[in-house]
Structure 1
Amino acid sequence: MCGIVGVFGHSPVSQVIYDSLSMLQHRGQDAAGIVTNYQGRFYLEKGEGLITDVFNKSNMARLLGNVGVGHVRYPTAGCSSVAEAQPFYVNSPYGVVFAHNGNLTNVAEIVGGLFETDMRHLNTRSDSEVMLNVFAHALSRRGAVKPNEFDVFAAVEEVHRRCKGGYAVITMIAGVGMVAFRDLHGIRPLVFGTRDTGKFKDMPSATEYMIASESVALQVGGFELHHDLEPGEVIFIDMEGEVHRHVSLLAHEKAPCLFEYVYLARPDSVLDGVSVYEARINMGTKLAAKIKREWAHVPIDVVVPIPSTSRIAAQEIATRLNLPYRDALVRNRYVGRTFIMPGQALRKQSIRRKLNPIPNAFRGKNVMLVDDSIVRGTTIKEIIAMVREQGAAKVYVCSAAPPVRFPNVYGIDMPARSELIATGKDVQQLAKEIGADELIFQDLDDLKAAITEAAPGLTHFDTSVFDGIYVTGDITEEYLNLLERQRNDTAKQTEDVASHISRNLAAHI
């Protein structure tokens, strides 16, 4: 899960990119980077941490140019290190900068070809670098002194043929322009927006463009949403500012990731025509109806959301059930999202620093906690224990999403089945495991309907984390077992230790 931004402007863009990345910080807190282009040269700043850690007045001043790309990273693969911070860069052909959100599912088969046939070098274990080299090699094979839109479209078409999985990409080619494209199923989000410079004082009227992971990144800079890229769509903006579009003949019906609407995206975003805010209201409406049907025997005194993603659904549930709603778990906004923190120990340690209960809201009450989803179970276990410590009589839990029982392979950090608390358990077993008196989940059909009702034309989704059906059709049991060995928390902790030792050694050389 990452956030990407690309801006093609007529004035310096570094501040615009920074502001847009600030609206996408929820998508990645491990590293950040910005690359700009000025007079054919790239200017790069990137590092580990939040954008406020990476960028300052001094290095922002060095980011010259009217065209640029930005990235915030959470590592779903590889270690947490500055070497894997994006955007990535290769100097051949032309000079290419690359920012990627998602995950490739056939990296192993691509890598061999890159070494043996394409004769390209990889410097990290990031699938983003693999994809960059596939694109760069495809572009070089065209042999153009200066590529045109047909060269770019052909290069992206080769990426689609060779790379499987979920991906959204923004890339810059020195002296050529900016390119953005989306995977053949539209799993990972990507939006395109425009703004007229004539709205600014002392500037002539001209059109500027932004491409980003979510629509909120457009809004902060005054860009208007034009459209979401279609599955397999590529947009090429040449150096004269002309926009060229193409949709691959290999494209499938759009099937965006359902988890974007449940948790990943901001509520003020619009993705594939769906207002995330409206979709979460619908989730609350449908879950309230299920609670009425199945929990008539459950005496509920108060509805409390687990902030902040579940707040919208919880408010709707309280309204529909005519129950008091209380924001009784106060969030410390200076602690990051625990879901995307690498390592189970770090997630658990951060929960009580992140949330603090208001005792009077819980003492002697039958409390219904509303969560957006239950993935590893670490957060909900700690919160239930915390609520009981405040004197709650009963603790009921409802989830706005179905049980997460299967790994995600398209760019969300839930790859290991052994770390998903719902694996191999029914609802009663899960309730006992997390310490809840009662537990209820949203039905998958209701969750899909909540999205479709917000955008009637959107009917297909990637629902793999809930039902194990992978839309790309290439995921085998062998692949999932390999993924679990490579990407569980134990493996990541080993990588992080190795990365830490490497950085310390480098500092003393």
Structure 2
Amino acid sequence: MEPLKHECGVAMVRLLKPLEYYQEKYGTWMYGLNKLYLMMEKQHNRGQEGAGMACVNLAALPGHEYMFRERAEGSNAITEIFSTVHKKFMDLSEEQLADVDYARHNLPFAGEMYMGHLRYSTTGKSGLTFVHPFLRRNNWRAKNLCLCGNFNMTNVHEIFEKLLAMGQSPRIYSDTYITLELMGHRLDREVERNFIDAQKKGLKGRDITDYIDDNVKMANVLKTTMTDFDGGYVMCGLTGSGEMFAMRDPWGIRPAFWYKDDEVIALASERPVLQTTFGLDCDDIHELEPGQAIVVTKNGVDSLEQIIEQRGDSKCSFERIYFSRGSDRDIYNERKKLGEQLTESILKAVDYDTEHTVFSFIPNTAEVAFYGMLGGFKRYINDQKIERLYNLGHTPTKDELQEILHQYVRSEKVAWKDIKLRTFITEGNTRKDLASHVYDVTYGSIEPYVDNLVIIDDSIVRGTTLKESILKILDSLHPKKIVVVSSSPQIRYPDYYGIDMPSLEEFCVFGATMQLLKERDMLHVVDDIYENCLAELKKPRAEMRNCVRDIYTPFTVNEINQKIIEMLRPEGMTTPVELVFQSIEGLHEAIPGHKGDWYFTGNYPTPGGTELVNRAFVSFYENKYKKRK
């Protein structure tokens, strides 16, 4: 109920016709620019810390800019960057603005290639310096590289050392910048390869440049750049000579979808973005496969290239549960399934008393799972009606029919997000007091001391909002019992592939488990795990195992649930509370095509994830736990 920060979002547009075509058909040469704006706005949920965009003008003459970039920070960054671009057109007459040739040779962001990025920091680094896209300049058009992505790399240090070994000295230590420098280095080598080939063919001067621009193969650059990276990513880029590419990690962790017709090639992080922007059906859109890249040449010829062989099947399940918009056809059905599958567990929690149970949801992202949960209970009640009618043994009277058929699932809008705490409110006691009023309730929506209240969420992470606000405000309605339902399983482990999750000790599941170990005089388990983590970290990364999983082994999910409730229950609360989590089996049944579940199971898809979770436990033990012993 406390929101996680989303991973980033990407958008790309490659026009396949001359700008005159779009001016004539759509009334503006800004067709590509406008489509990029729509695609970025449709992915606003994926990043609100900053945004940037880039454009390449393939027809620009020497001495004129051909690679444009605009970036901004903050939640209004998309509006800011596009407003900045359009302000440059304000003083033009309608004739000038409609003159494609004038635009092509005089206006910024008049081009055939567009790329956009929405940012959420997954490293804690902020400032315009860290806002994508990143740009590497050179007087050779083919050596200009603009890069952005939805990613987090777990082995940045190794790649950094690789650059140092090449003789480079990167100015910024970040995965984006280091990737840019490594890829830029390989792009330089690819250009030089073509330079040598051109000389062998007897070409000179400008003919050599044209040969290079026409023959750069981005697949070669990607194959010599991305092989050593460990992490989840969709890497997107443009070159000054007209190459466009997007590549997905070989485990399939981060998502990417693309579309092509005779006018445009487009790519986005989410499928509905393309559907809405271009008026498409689901089946018109393709998913980029693990380890695969879509590459578009200067001449608009596209190809799918298998850059790295697929290394796993770990498409992110949290994309489906929470991050991606629920308007996607398949995600919508999956979220409904997640809610529906919890029917039996919830029935047990309310002692099968559906007559005196009210269903609701917090927050809005859980609404689709809520509909699935209602669907499950509607089917259950209908089955009960059929059973009762079947067992009557006689033709029912009108009163009997009314009494049986009038049973229904009771749902209400019980909780409302009422205020947002502002960043200037930092004083501890003040913030804590105000936090209890972030949500408000619909008074009279349940019968006090009679009705159970079932409230579903998509995930429970820290539990802070439950403790400081939700449970307290729901208690004011005096339900007979509160059942808090999570449509996802217990979140036990951090993510290291682009989702900004809290540190290990901040998870309420981890905290409850630590408390159980203390109460049962089992803290030797913590010491053992620490020693095991240290031993694992001495091994080659590929041979490491996740020792942190051992901390949960002594306890059942229900034991941990009960302890979570004890720890999150506000002082003075009298209503009984029960937690119901989705099972791992239920997760895989509802979302069979997305098997990446490391946040729940600790089964990290890459060696880098396993190393980092072991390091996280060592850090916790040495910096937090040992000091409290």
Aligned to 1:444: 584
The structural deviation recorded for 1:209 is 1.1
TM-score normalised by the chain length of structure 2 = 0.67
Give the AA of the match of 1:99. C
Aligned to 2:494: 407
Computed over aligned residues only, the root mean square deviation of the Cα atoms, in angstroms, reads 3.0
Pick which of 314-323 and 170-179 moved more: 314-323
Aligned to 1:108: 157
Aligned to 1:133: 181
| SS of alignment partner, residue 360 of structure 1 | coil
Task: Note the alpha carbon deviations across 1:320-345, whole angstroms, 9 max, x for none.
Answer: 2242122333346x969x9xxxxx99
Aligned to 2:9: 3
Aligned to 1:283: 338
Pair 1:307–1:106, CA change in 2 (3 A) = same
CA distance in 2: counterparts of 1:137 and 1:111, whole angstroms? 13
Aligned to 1:501: none
Aligned to 2:471: 384
Does residue 1:240 correspond to 2:299, yes or no?
Answer: yes
Task: Note the alpha carbon deviations across 1:217-238, whole angstroms, 9 max, x for none.
Answer: 2123216443100000011111
The structural deviation recorded for 1:79 is 1.7
CA distance in 2: counterparts of 1:258 and 1:291, whole angstroms? 23
Pair 1:438–1:297, CA change in 2 (3 A) = farther
- Contact conserved, 1:348 with 1:379, CA < 8 A, in 2? no
Aligned to 1:369: 455
Give the AA of the match of 1:30. E
Aligned to 1:76: 122
Aligned to 2:600: 466
- Contact conserved, 1:407 with 1:480, CA < 8 A, in 2? no
Give the AA of the match of 1:8. R
- Contact conserved, 1:315 with 1:325, CA < 8 A, in 2? no
| SS of alignment partner, residue 343 of structure 2 | helix
- Contact conserved, 2:10 with 2:115, CA < 8 A, in 1? yes
Aligned to 1:395: 482
The counterpart of 2:70, out of the listed 45, 60, 65, is 45
Pick which of 428-437 and 356-365 moved more: 356-365
CA distance in 1: counterparts of 2:81 and 2:432, whole angstroms? 29
| SS of alignment partner, residue 162 of structure 1 | coil
Higher helix fraction (1 or 2): 2
Pair 1:135–1:441, CA change in 2 (3 A) = same
Pick which of 391-400 and 172-181 moved more: 391-400
How many residue pairs end up in the alignment? 459
Task: Note the alpha carbon deviations across 1:3-23, whole angstroms, 9 max, x for none.
Answer: 110111244322211111111
CA distance in 2: counterparts of 1:151 and 1:403, whole angstroms? 45
* Percent of residue pairs bearing the same amino acid type: 25
The structural deviation recorded for 1:55 is 3.1
Pair 1:191–1:250, CA change in 2 (3 A) = same
CA distance in 2: counterparts of 1:483 and 1:24, whole angstroms? 34
1:73-472 to 2 correspondences below 5 Å: 73-92=119-138, 94-117=143-166, 119-123=168-172, 125-142=173-190, 143=192, 144-145=194-195, 146=212, 151-195=217-261, 206-222=262-278, 224=280, 225-269=284-328, 275-292=330-347, 295-296=350-351, 301-322=357-378, 323-331=409-417, 355-362=439-446, 364=448, 365-381=451-467, 382-423=469-510, 424-425=512-513, 426-435=560-569, 437-452=577-592, 458=593, 461-472=595-606
- Contact conserved, 1:149 with 1:236, CA < 8 A, in 2? no
The structural deviation recorded for 1:476 is 3.8
The structural deviation recorded for 1:427 is 1.1
Higher strand fraction (1 or 2): 1
Aligned to 2:546: none
CA distance in 1: counterparts of 2:51 and 2:265, whole angstroms? 21
CA distance in 2: counterparts of 1:346 and 1:117, whole angstroms? 54
| SS of alignment partner, residue 186 of structure 1 | coil
TM-score normalised by the chain length of structure 1 = 0.82
- Contact conserved, 2:360 with 2:454, CA < 8 A, in 1? yes
| SS of alignment partner, residue 607 of structure 2 | coil
The structural deviation recorded for 1:350 is 9.4
Pick which of 43-52 and 280-289 moved more: 43-52
Pair 1:56–1:131, CA change in 2 (3 A) = closer
| SS of alignment partner, residue 474 of structure 2 | helix
The structural deviation recorded for 1:352 is 6.7
The counterpart of 2:53, out of the listed 10, 34, 48, is 34
- Contact conserved, 2:213 with 2:241, CA < 8 A, in 1? no
Aligned to 1:506: none
Task: Note the alpha carbon deviations across 1:63-114, whole angstroms, 9 max, x for none.
Answer: 3323111111111114221111111111156211111112101011111222
Task: Note the alpha carbon deviations across 1:364-400, whole angstroms, 9 max, x for none.
Answer: 2421110001112123332222222344443210100
Task: Note the alpha carbon deviations across 1:281-306, whole angstroms, 9 max, x for none.
Answer: 11111111332356536775211111
CA distance in 1: counterparts of 2:599 and 2:171, whole angstroms? 30
- Contact conserved, 1:376 with 1:420, CA < 8 A, in 2? yes
Give the AA of the match of 2:13. V
- Contact conserved, 1:105 with 1:165, CA < 8 A, in 2? yes
Give the AA of the match of 1:174. G
| SS of alignment partner, residue 221 of structure 1 | helix
- Contact conserved, 2:213 with 2:298, CA < 8 A, in 1? no
Query: Which has the larger Rg?
Result: 2
Give the AA of the match of 1:374. I
- Contact conserved, 1:348 with 1:378, CA < 8 A, in 2? no
The structural deviation recorded for 1:479 is 5.6
| SS of alignment partner, residue 446 of structure 1 | helix
CA distance in 2: counterparts of 1:286 and 1:16, whole angstroms? 39
Task: Note the alpha carbon deviations across 1:251-280, whole angstroms, 9 max, x for none.
Answer: 22432011111111101125xxxx100100
| SS of alignment partner, residue 147 of structure 2 | strand
